[in-house]
Amino acid sequence: MAERGRPRGFDRDAALQRAMEVFWERGYEGTSLSDLTTAMGINAPSLYGAFGGKEALFREAVERYRHTDGGMTDVALRKGKTARAAVEGMLMAAATALTLPGKPKGCFVVLGATNCTPANQGMAAFLRSHRLASTQHVRERLEQGVADGELSPEVDLDTLARYFTTVVQGMSLQARDGVKRAELERVARAAMAIWPG
C-alpha cells in the first residue's frame, strides 16, 4: 500500500542525530520543543509526525546513542580476551567516548535525566534501566572470568561490577566538567589497581 500524504521534506536520520546531541547536552527536562525543532531544522508538526513527540524522540535518541557514540564501551567489554582486559578496555573506551571532539562531553545515558520532576519519572526510569543493564553486562563478563579461572569464585562480582560502572559514571561527570581524555585514562588505570589478585 502506498504511503499517504506528502513525503518528508527532511532527512529523518540527520534530524534524529541533531536531537540526540541536544538531549545529550541539555538533558530531557532541559530541552524544550523549540530547542529540538531549531536544532533539527523542522517544525513541531513534523517532529510529532516523524517521531511521535518529545518522549518518543528522547527514547529513540537514547537508542541511537547506545548504538553509536555510547556503544564504544560495550564493544570494548565484549572484545577483551580476558575479563581484566575487557574491563580495562571498557574504562579506556569510556575515556575516549566521553571526550569525543565536537560532541557533548559525558555520557548521555548517565546525564540525560538524573534529576526529573515527578511528571518525568518515566524518563529517569528508562535511563536507569539502561545504566543497570550496563552493570549487568560488566557482571556477566566477570562471571566469564570466574568460569575461565581468571577470577576466584570468592570474588564479590556484584560489588566489582558496580565499582567499575560507578567509575565510568564518575568519569562521565568529570568529562562534563571539562576533564580531558588523558586525565580520565589515568583514572581508568588507577581504578584497575583494585583488580582482584
Q: How far apart are CA 5 and CA 7, in angstroms?
A: 7
| R_g of the chain, CA atoms, integer Å | 19
The pLDDT confidence band at residue 83, using thresholds 50, 70 and 90, is very high
The pLDDT confidence band at residue 8, using thresholds 50, 70 and 90, is low
Q: How far apart are CA 120 and CA 116, in angstroms?
A: 6
Q: pTM (2 decimals)?
A: 0.89
Q: How many domains does the chain have?
A: 2
Based on the fold, state whether residues 132 and 109 are members of the same structural domain. Answer: yes
Within-domain flag for 4: no
Report the CATH number at residue 18: 1.10.10.60
Segment 29-81, tens digit of pLDDT: 999 999 999 999 999 999 999 999 999 999 999 999 999 988 999 999 999 99
Q: Which domain holds residue 169?
A: 69-194
Instruction: Confirm if 140 and 157 have CB atoms less than 8 A apart.
Output: no
Q: How far apart are CA 141 and CA 86, in angstroms?
A: 8
Within-domain flag for 173: yes
Based on the fold, state whether residues 115 and 174 are members of the same structural domain. Answer: yes
Instruction: Confirm if 18 and 50 have CB atoms less than 8 A apart.
Output: no
Q: How far apart are CA 69 and CA 25, in angstroms?
A: 13
Within-domain flag for 123: yes
Q: From residue 131, how far is each of 28, 36, 127, 189, 193 by CA, in Å?
A: 16, 25, 6, 22, 24
Q: How far apart are CA 150 and CA 140, in angstroms?
A: 14
Instruction: Confirm if 191 and 164 have CB atoms less than 8 A apart.
Output: yes
Q: What is the average pLDDT score of the chain? A: 92
pLDDT at residue number 119: 81
Segment 91-139, tens digit of pLDDT: 999 999 999 999 999 999 998 877 778 888 888 888 899 999 999 999 9
Report the CATH number at residue 173: 1.10.357.10
Instruction: Confirm if 4 and 88 have CB atoms less than 8 A apart.
Output: no
Within-domain flag for 148: yes
